[in-house]
Amino acid sequence: MRRVVITGIGVVSPIGSGKNKFFESLASGNSGISRITVFDASSFPVQIAGEVKDLNFNECELEYPAVNGIKDRKVFFGLSAFIEARKDAQLSDEILQNKRTTLNLGVSLEVLGIEDIGPSVLKGKVDFKHFHNNVVKSGKSLQIPLDFTNRTIIKKHKMVGTNFINCSACAASAQTIGHSFRMIQRGEIDIALCGGMDSMINPLGVGGFGLLGALSMRNDLEKCACRPFDAKRDGTVLGEGAGILVLEEMNLALKRNVHIYGEIVGFGSSLDAYKPTDPDPDGNGAALAMRTAIHSAGLQEHQISYINAHGTATPKNDEIETVAIKKVFGQNAYSIPVSSTKSMIGHLIAASGAVECIASLSAFENNLIPPTINYSTKDYFCDLDYVPNKAREWGGDYILTNSFGFGGQNASLILKRWQNHES
């Protein structure tokens, strides 16, 4: 099997856009959670989120004119992360246009402009004349297709290799990374730009997740509202952003003499087959994904020295993930640092796996484990080492990062510290 390394990073997040800002904020334990400003949420029970506030959308419009007039924020996040990752990995147009270079991205839902449709619907009836005159004829983009970002990139750069869109909720971008890793391993491709982008900070997203009871309603706490593994947690906080990584066959990367952030050595994916919204209470699906990733890497469980958890701060998820970790690692689970970067950035849904994979790479780059901030009260059922509140010095070699999505869609990745190119 061929070896796969990471040679480029592009990230957009609530705590900083660009890898340098992102890494610095992780090390400092900064929170990107604040009051929602992208729409009027004053009538919503949930009024907080992790918004991206430092991204210049005009730069994306200049580079990709096709996005002019687009309202869907995740499109801009994905394009910005792509631009950074491509530059970071020194990918020329010639490399992008090679048939052995692929683009694989994860995303969640198409955005529907309900604020434009709403006035056309009254008491359950559709006023089609109003809809036609005020929406259709105006040229407003009611719905952005899931593959819009892919198509925009492919057309601009004349990419002819394989590409796919993965829509598997919170596991989406982790799965695109895992599948891209396997494609390179098997020799099907040489380079993959993979990851994902998302923004559910809109009336449908905030309203829908709020109705499910998945979100924290501690609007007064703002920056302290997302409390993974803490006994006082009451739900996750939505975030937004994008993460794109450049995966590359090792010998090609060495030949190109580019910086290597780490190596991907394992991937596991599974389904709970339980409920559309709830994880398996026994943690069996999550445990299977972790075991599969570890064993596909040819490792033993004791070799994992840090776990970047899914850690959503919902009461059930954190408890079940803890159960699953104990099933996989046994008594050794108590000696492995586990942290949730969602405490700082919120839940980026389809983008979460890629952004948290990049957060894990920061541990290799800075020799620091990013903390779980807002941790103050120990939970009886969540009793592992969650790296509370402050980053921790660390020099381990293997990281496990988890992404567990709605419908019991689970993905785990194993990252290895890059040391040399021994065969």
- Contact indicator for 353, 170 with CB cutoff of 8 Å: yes
Q: For the chain, how many structural domains are there in total? A: 1
- Among positive and negative, which fits the CA dihedral 17, 20, 23, 27? negative
pLDDT of residue 204: 86
Task: Report yes or no on 140 lying in a domain.
Answer: no
Q: Which helix (H) or strand (E) holds 304?
A: none
For residue 194, what is the domain's CATH number?
3.40.47.10
Among candidate residues 306, 269, 292, 257, the one with its CA nearest the CA of residue 415: 306
Range of the domain at 54: 4-110+145-416
Ramachandran angles phi, psi of 402, nearest 5°? -110, 145
Residue with tokens 């567990």: 404
- Contact indicator for 195, 243 with CB cutoff of 8 Å: yes
pLDDT of residue 408: 84
Task: Report yes or no on 119 lying in a domain.
Answer: no
Task: Compute the distance between CA of residue 166 and CA of residue 175 in angstroms, rounded to an integer.
Answer: 8
Q: CA Rg, the chain, in Å?
A: 21
Give pLDDT tens digits for 117-153: 556 555 566 566 665 566 555 555 556 888 999 999 9
pLDDT of residue 135: 58
10-residue block means of pLDDT along the chain (423 residues)? Answer: 96 97 98 96 96 92 90 94 98 98 91 58 60 58 80 96 92 97 98 97 91 94 97 97 98 97 98 82 95 98 98 95 98 98 98 98 97 97 98 98 90 94 51
Q: How many residues does the chain have?
A: 423
Ramachandran angles phi, psi of 280, nearest 5°? -55, 120
Residue with tokens 């020329």: 92
**CA triplet 344, 346, 349: central angle to 5 degrees?**
145
Task: Report yes or no on 352 lying in a domain.
Answer: yes
Helix axes 315-329, 284-296, angle to 10 degrees: 40
pLDDT of residue 233: 97
Q: Where are the alpha helices (DSSP H) in 186-340?
A: 203-211, 250-256, 284-296, 315-329
Amino acid, single-letter form, for residue 111: V
- Contact indicator for 49, 33 with CB cutoff of 8 Å: yes
pLDDT of residue 117: 58
Of 60, 179, 347, 382, the active-site residue reads: 347
Classify each residue of 238-274 as buried b or exposed e, where b means 16 or more C-beta atoms within 10 Å of its C-beta: bbbbbbbbbbbbbebbeeeebeebbbbbbbbbbebee
Task: Report yes or no on 215 lying in a domain.
Answer: yes
**Active-site residue, 310 included:** yes
Give pLDDT tens digits for 150-167: 999 999 999 999 999 999
- Contact indicator for 325, 315 with CB cutoff of 8 Å: no
Of 170, 194, 226, 357, the active-site residue reads: 170
Task: Report yes or no on 285 lying in a domain.
Answer: yes
DSSP string for 316-340:
HHHHHHHHHHHHHHGGGGGGS-EE-
pTM value is: 0.93
pLDDT of residue 145: 83
**Active-site residue, 170 included:** yes
Task: Report yes or no on 223 lying in a domain.
Answer: yes
Of 60, 179, 226, 310, the active-site residue reads: 310
Task: Report yes or no on 284 lying in a domain.
Answer: yes
pLDDT of residue 280: 86
Q: How many helices (H) and strands (E) does the chain have?
A: 14, 16
